[in-house]
Structure 1
Amino acid sequence: MEIIGGLLNLEVLKLGFVYFDGRTWNASSEFPELKFLKLSSADLKEWNASSDNFPSLEVLALQYCSYLKMIPSSFGNILTLQKIEVYRCAKSVEESAKQIQEEQQDMGNEMLIVIISNL
């Protein structure tokens, strides 16, 4: 991820069937221009990140991340966030997406859409 994080103009990142060492992603890189992040079928269990890692993120899509415990709560501080899509992930991920939406609404961002599907 550090190599990918070195791509400072990266706007779209789609990771599928990705394996994280120790099943933890400690986001140490900043993705200053990243607008769209999709994680699909990741074996990720813990994701430690701050809003500083993804300051321009607009869309977060999570698919089949059944081991992931939660979306980092600091994503509630990303003011550019417009959509969170959760498809077939753990119930705790769904709950953290809803919590982030509530935090955004408290800050005046009524535009954040959360889509949850378990079909």
Structure 2
Amino acid sequence: MVAVELEVLAKKFDRFGWERDRGSAAHDRMLVDWMNALQDFPLTEVQAACRAAVLSNPNKMPNEGHIRAEIIKARAKAVQSLPRPEPEPSARRGDPANADQIMRDIGFKPRRFGASSQGAAE
């Protein structure tokens, strides 16, 4: 389907030479280059990028690099419009209660000295 987008752009910008080259090695290489460069992107993004490239520079046929750049630019704009995640409150480092909890979580049980440990031993 990416090749179809190239065909459409070529017909829009070059009304005389594109059909003449059909089936040639150069024509086939252009199709392969477009497909290789844009195969990882959804077709809807490729189509939107083709429209954006044509609108931004209507006198020049975009190549696969222009289309890829338009896709990246649109994705960056979409990411910027997303709400920022709230940072998770972290426990204060060095807090004794936090340190004790971490030690219990990993299974560390220190021996305690004092009256309670002597009473348990007797």
Taking structure 2 as the reference length, the TM-score comes to 0.20
Between Structure 1 and Structure 2, the one with more strand by share is 1
Between Structure 1 and Structure 2, the one with more helix by share is 2
Bigger radius of gyration among the two: 2
